[in-house]
Amino acid sequence: MINLETYQVWFVTGSQHLYGNEVLRQVADHAQQIARALNDSPQIPVKVVFKPVVTTPEAIYDVCLEANRAPDCIGLITWMHTFSPAKMWINGLAALQKPFLHLHTQFNRDIPWATIDMDFMNLNQSAHGDREFGFVASRMRANRKVVVGHWQADETQQEIGVWTRAACARLDWQGAKFARFGDNMRQVAVTEGDKVAAQIQFGYAVNGYGVHDLVESVNHVTNADVDRLVAEYEATYRIAESLRAGGKYRESLRDAARIELGLRHFLEEGPFKGFTDTFEDLPGLKQLPGIAVQRLMAEGYGFGAEGDWKTAALLRAINVMGAGLPGGASFMEDYTYHMDPQGEKVLGAHMLEVSPSIANGKPSAEIYPLSIGGKADPVRLLFDTRTGPALNASMIDLGNRFRLIVNEVEVVPPDEPLPKLPVARALWLPKPNFKTALAAWIYAGGAHHTAFSQAIASAHLHDFAEMSNMEFLLIDDHTELTEFRKELRWNEAYYRNA
């Protein structure tokens, strides 16, 4: 399970020596109060660490290098309580390899109308101190997030919280390893991509393993461990008649548990943060991993079917961003449509691999044949998805860049029960409407595979894309197709120059 409390963001306040020690003492005191308040905010999941006020180019450079080296530091929050001549920041910002958030706030919320004097003005001057810092950041084309608002305001803290979650996911990708069992599904285009480019840009490595490596791990699983896991299944899910003790497919349930234990062991040994498989390459495995993949996704692993490593890495990032928030996330595929003009909807599912973290109620473990792959019937968890707001995110490789496409959706209950559908599923209304959302998605080249989340919002992914230098396209209530198509054209020109 992922715990964001182990991460830190550093609160760095800029000033200068011109003001004298008394003012600098007050600056430090105020900055500590802000850092403490942010640290205590329930909106911000990471530790906010106060760093001594910086007043020289050397101190700024040092804190930036220190942040680069600190393994748990996700980035910086910068704030200029007073004026901090910003040429002092150039060397530090040029060396900084972690994202930063520029908090444009003021210690005093209100102007003290009756008592305000020049001392107050000299201390509370982020209105121009932050502009000086902002200029240098823009002059350097520094990638950063600007948050404006009083530091005690809930909305300000919430925006900082969103950004820190994105920065945790970015740090989690650095040095991360993703395993691919087998290669891509034959002839599929969108799941391909440049793994070297991804490693250079995002910091994670994707490497292939033979299915025999996994089979070896599965074969080492003991019967006692299988007994324990089957008992856990029985305590956690409803179990179909045929899978219960004495049932016709009891051995298949035990095979599924054995695959889960072998896969889990393999991932822990890596250690890997996610994986892909493909139904076209399963020699030595009795069934396509179903319940195993479902449960591992719910624990925070990334997963992509048919060799889809980009979605596996993206789902991992989304699991990190959403850690501790209500709602889950899953690998997902846009499967089939309900095109009734009274309510056009998308039915999302996959052959097996949907995470029970999005389940509405207790999932049910069942077994059915899989119409492709030619293996024994796989065990899977069946459920409907919780209703409410959600999003689908897809990452594609356009050759000269990666693009992240996000569509906000509303999950709705099925119009009628689906008694014959043997997979977990979600039904949603895409925003702004069916016709616009789907046309925009297809013009943008969005994949049929997505990472689906009910825990995070599009704002998390926007921050994440910005700090990862990824193109970001949002399809939401404000999307208008003519404008969206212009954005695609303009981005094409921008990225040719960038």
Positions in the binding site for Mn ion (CB under 5 A): 305, 333
CB of 189 vs Mn ion, minimal distance in Å? 13
CA 371 from chain centre, in angstroms, equals 32
* Alpha carbon distance 498, 496 (integer Å): 6
CB of 296 vs Mn ion, minimal distance in Å? 17
Which of 14/302 has CB closer to Mn ion? 302
CA 215 from chain centre, in angstroms, equals 30
CB of 149 vs Mn ion, minimal distance in Å? 42
CB of 80 vs Mn ion, minimal distance in Å? 49
Q: Which amino acid, one-letter code, is at 342?
A: Q
- What is the number of residues in the chain? 498
Nearest to 167 by CA among 85, 327, 44, 277: 44
Name 323's bridge partners.
none
Which of 350/431 has CB closer to Mn ion? 350
CA 487 from chain centre, in angstroms, equals 24
Nearest to 34 by CA among 87, 97, 85, 81: 81
Two tokens, residue 117: 């004097």
Can you point out the beta strands (E) in 80-135? 100-104
Which of 353/397 has CB closer to Mn ion? 353
Which of 221/305 has CB closer to Mn ion? 305
CB of 191 vs Mn ion, minimal distance in Å? 8
3-class DSSP state of 352: coil
Which of 255/333 has CB closer to Mn ion? 333
List CB contacts of 358: < 8 A, sequence separation 6 or more. Answer: 327, 328, 329, 330, 385, 386, 426, 452, 454
3-class DSSP state of 63: helix
Which of 31/305 has CB closer to Mn ion? 305
CB of 305 vs Mn ion, minimal distance in Å? 5
* Alpha carbon distance 20, 457 (integer Å): 45
CB of 350 vs Mn ion, minimal distance in Å? 6
CB of 165 vs Mn ion, minimal distance in Å? 27
Which of 260/333 has CB closer to Mn ion? 333
Which of 281/333 has CB closer to Mn ion? 333
Q: Are strands 364-367 and 238-239 parallel, antiparallel or unpaired?
A: parallel
Using alpha carbons only, how large is the chain's radius of gyration in Å? 25
CB of 147 vs Mn ion, minimal distance in Å? 38
List CB contacts of 489: < 8 A, sequence separation 6 or more. Answer: none
CB of 270 vs Mn ion, minimal distance in Å? 24
CB of 304 vs Mn ion, minimal distance in Å? 9
Residue recorded with tokens 């003009």 = 341
Q: Which amino acid, one-letter code, is at 426?
A: A
Two tokens, residue 315: 């789902």
Nearest to 285 by CA among 370, 226, 212: 212
Which of 76/305 has CB closer to Mn ion? 305
Which of 92/290 has CB closer to Mn ion? 290
HEC assignment per residue over 195-226: HHHHHHHHCCEEEEECHHHHHHHHHCCCHHHH
* Alpha carbon distance 421, 474 (integer Å): 31
Residue recorded with tokens 């080492």 = 220
Which of 305/381 has CB closer to Mn ion? 305
Which of 157/453 has CB closer to Mn ion? 453
* Alpha carbon distance 449, 308 (integer Å): 8
CB of 187 vs Mn ion, minimal distance in Å? 13
| Residue 215 burial (CB count, 10 A) | 18
